[in-house]
Amino acid sequence: MIYANADTDMPEGWPLTVPADALGNAAPLTLMSKQAVLVEGETAQSVFGDPFAMIPAEALDGFRGITRCKPHGRFEVVVIQFARDEVIFANVGALFFCPRTVDTLELAAEPADYNVMPLEQADLLVSFLEEEDAGSVSLDEAKTVFNAAA
């Protein structure tokens, strides 16, 4: 259980409300801001050579109706962990990253199976995903912008 301070005015840590169909999810859901989400797009394919990219949920604020919601009182957070890193389907079609359970020595010894994009890069990708949704994305521009940001 997490207890939210009703007086908190720091939206950076607030959970995100995801409307139905925003990420392939059948029903509305709530994500913690640091939850890793797998998104798909032509921009990711063009820039990274893979149509899928793992981004922190906080980068989705404002995308397809996803918004931060101020928490009140007590709410339950479920954390799913496996013996190895996994990407799972949730709520029918949304894809989420579930990290393996590790101790400090294992973490240093084994590379991660999946890498979550840094927030700044994820924000940039989401801006191009919005252009994809609008039918106005320029993949050449995306490559140029990502190369300049690297």
40-44, 57-61, 108-112, 137-141, range with the lowest pLDDT = 108-112
- Check residue 1 and give its pLDDT: 45
pLDDT in tens, 71-117: 877 778 888 888 888 999 988 889 999 888 776 665 555 666 678 99
Q: Tokens in use for 99?
A: 């990290």
- Check residue 92 and give its pLDDT: 87
- Check residue 9 and give its pLDDT: 66
Q: Tokens in use for 32?
A: 């913690």
β-pairing, 67-68 vs 52-56, is unpaired
Q: How many CA atoms lie within 13 A of 44 on its CB side?
A: 18
Q: How far apart are CA 49 and CA 131, in angstroms?
A: 19
The percent of residues above 90 in pLDDT, for the chain, comes to 62
Q: How far apart are CA 18 and CA 30, in angstroms?
A: 6
Q: What is the mean pLDDT of residues 113-137?
A: 94
Closest CA to 123 of 10, 8, 6, 12: 12
Q: What is the mean pLDDT of the chain?
A: 87
- Check residue 78 and give its pLDDT: 82
pTM of the model: 0.85
